[in-house]
């Protein structure tokens, strides 16, 4: 973590965003800007005051018409300075973030005050924007509702303060944002805009620790709203959160884990979060005993939701030592042990995960957990996830069967099967017992079904060519779907 008192060299910052430049370019006047920021100025037809005496960006027809020259020497100097001081290397600014920063400048320089225009207000959110437009996407519209005025004024006020160059003002604005996002669902929805997320994304990598912490906490609050989750991932919030998980302070890791956990609850976000390399730092945080319980729990729950996706299950199964790491948590407190069992059960769903788990002695550990009524209380989440993991591992057939018999799994499973009313737990126990007994084998040329006939049980075997084989398969597909709904 960098020194919060470290002074950022002025020549390394973009005059438009005030942030450390990742892709500095020189314009015809000799001034240097972050590429994304100056292109957004052209796109919006806005000329920063620094250039206004020399160059009119509104006269340029399109961004590609502006001659830009990479400032390689400055970029090298910035990267060397980051390496020397330990300051995080800057990310190239996204188009969305750059546009919103420029919008903020436009708001500060061009929007009339309430005193000068008492009957007008700003309407931004629903105005169509054309990338070829030469005017900013800000219009003055008459007589909007008081609710719209309030929303607009709150967001605009916060954005103006957030892009202030003074860290103290940025922190004060972020504290106000945190308070606002705790107040109501309405405010969490109205403040989760591309403009706000673009600025918060930059503040996550601020040189000021207080700015980082408050920005991360505000994002956790915004992520609690279901309608915000996809918007936040699309605004590229995840990469800086992963950076904080990897290199941030303990408090920052706590907030980052909470945000990723919340975003991973949304099914459509899981693949993207996995692709953005969130799984390894989450696992590291989850397994670090010196971290706080809340941070570890959030990291574990984030892993659980991510591993509900098939691609992420394969990713975590390929991580070195993952099974042993999760099994060591069986002796941890309940808030950590519970998500560890949930992740293990998800891993067992895929073939790679089953092989890794069986190699590490997971069968013996889970049977031992189930024998301890104080850990896996009958009917508890812990017991159900043990049963689910054992059921999936039983698909490894012969390897699982010998291990399960050696550790006395049949006795434990029979107790569950006999004492449980119909439901997923009973189904998991019964099917695992059948597998141990050799009555259910994946990949065999025939399958057995236990069918009730009066007071007795008839064992029926279907060959691969039997006309009843398809009906049998469809029946068990439906049973699996039902058993997964818990």
- The neighbouring-strand residues paired with 456 are 453
Please tell me whether residue 458 adopts helix, strand or coil conformation: strand
Question: What is the rounded distance in angstroms from the CA atom of residue 411 to the CA atom of residue 418?
Answer: 11
Question: What is the rounded distance in angstroms from the CA atom of residue 31 to the CA atom of residue 20?
Answer: 15
Domain count along the chain = 4
- Are 413 and 275 part of one and the same domain? no
pLDDT at 396: 67
- Are 239 and 97 part of one and the same domain? no
- Are 250 and 222 part of one and the same domain? yes
Does residue 126 lie in a domain region? no
The CATH number of the domain holding residue 16 is: 3.30.40.10
Q: Exposed e or buried b for every residue in 90-129, given b needs 16+ CB within 10 A?
A: bbebbebbbbbbbbbbbbeeebeeeeeeeebbbbbeeeee
Does residue 354 lie in a domain region? yes
How does strand 139-142 pair with strand 120-123? Answer: antiparallel
Closest-CA residue to 358 (of 466, 453, 247, 435): 435
What token pair was written down for 238?
């995840």
Tens of pLDDT along the chain (486 residues) come to: 445 456 778 888 888 888 889 999 988 778 889 999 889 888 888 888 878 777 888 788 778 778 888 888 889 999 998 888 888 888 888 887 788 788 877 777 654 433 333 332 223 333 232 223 323 333 323 333 334 434 457 888 888 888 877 888 899 999 999 999 998 899 999 999 988 999 999 999 888 999 999 999 999 999 999 999 999 999 989 999 999 999 999 999 999 999 999 999 999 999 999 999 999 999 999 999 999 999 999 999 999 999 999 999 999 999 999 999 999 999 888 899 999 999 999 999 999 999 999 999 999 999 999 988 777 788 888 999 999 999 999 986 788 999 999 999 999 999 998 887 778 889 999 999 999 988 765 533 333 333 333 333 333 333 344 444 444 455 444 444 333 333
Does residue 124 lie in a domain region? no
- Are 76 and 180 part of one and the same domain? no
What range does the domain containing 227 cover?
Answer: 145-306
The CATH number of the domain holding residue 194 is: 1.25.10.10
Point out the domain boundary residue: 78, 107, 136.
107
- Are 223 and 296 part of one and the same domain? yes
């Amino acid at each position: 973590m960098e020194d919060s008192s470290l002074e950022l060299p002025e020549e390394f910052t973009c005059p438009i965003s005030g942030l450390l430049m990742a892709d500095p370019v020189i314009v015809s006047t000799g001034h240097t800007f972050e590429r994304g920021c100056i292109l957004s100025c052209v796109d919006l037809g806005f000329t920063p005051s620094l250039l206004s005496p020399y160059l009119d960006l509104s006269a340029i027809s399109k961004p590609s018409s502006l001659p830009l020259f990479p400032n390689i020497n400055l970029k090298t100097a910035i990267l060397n300075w980051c390496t020397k001081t330990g300051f995080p290397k800057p990310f190239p600014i996204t188009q969305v973030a750059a546009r919103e920063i420029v919008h903020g400048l436009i708001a500060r320089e061009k929007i009339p005050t309430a005193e000068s225009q008492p009957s007008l207000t700003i309407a931004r959110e629903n105005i169509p924007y054309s990338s070829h437009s030469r005017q900013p996407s800000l219009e003055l519209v008459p007589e909007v509702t008081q609710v719209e005025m309030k929303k607009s004024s709150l967001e605009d006020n916060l954005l103006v303060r957030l892009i202030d160059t003074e860290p103290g003002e940025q922190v004060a604005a972020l504290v106000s944002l945190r308070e606002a996002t705790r107040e109501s669902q309405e405010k969490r929805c109205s403040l989760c805009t591309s403009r706000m997320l673009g600025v918060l994304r930059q503040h996550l990598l601020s040189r000021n620790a207080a700015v980082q912490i408050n920005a991360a906490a505000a994002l956790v609050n915004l992520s609690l709203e279901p309608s915000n989750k996809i918007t936040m991932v699309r605004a590229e919030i995840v990469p800086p959160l992963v950076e904080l998980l990897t290199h941030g302070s303990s408090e920052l890791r706590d907030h980052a884990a909470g945000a990723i956990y919340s975003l991973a609850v949304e099914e459509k976000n899981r693949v993207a979060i996995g692709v953005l390399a969130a799984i390894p730092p989450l696992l590291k945080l989850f397994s670090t005993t010196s971290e706080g319980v809340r941070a570890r729990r959030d990291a574990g729950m984030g892993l659980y939701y991510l591993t509900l996706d098939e691609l992420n299950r394969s990713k975590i199964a390929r991580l070195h030592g993952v099974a042993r790491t999760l099994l060591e948590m069986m002796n941890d407190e309940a808030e950590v042990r519970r998500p560890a069992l949930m992740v293990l059960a998800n891993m067992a769903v895929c073939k790679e995960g089953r092989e890794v788990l069986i190699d590490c002695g997971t069968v013996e550990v889970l049977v031992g957990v189930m024998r301890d009524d104080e850990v896996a209380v009958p009917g508890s989440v812990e017991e159900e996830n043990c049963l689910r993991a054992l059921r999936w591992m039983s698909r490894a057939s012969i390897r699982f069967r010998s291990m399960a018999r050696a550790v006395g799994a049949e006795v434990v499973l029979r107790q569950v099967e006999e004492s449980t009313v119909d439901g997923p737990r009973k189904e998991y126990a019964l099917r695992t017992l059948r597998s141990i007994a050799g009555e259910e084998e994946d990949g065999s040329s025939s399958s057995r079904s236990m069918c009730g006939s009066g007071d007795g049980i008839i064992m029926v075997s279907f060959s691969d060519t039997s006309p009843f084989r398809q009906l049998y398969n469809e029946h068990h597909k439906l049973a699996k779907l039902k058993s997964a709904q818990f």
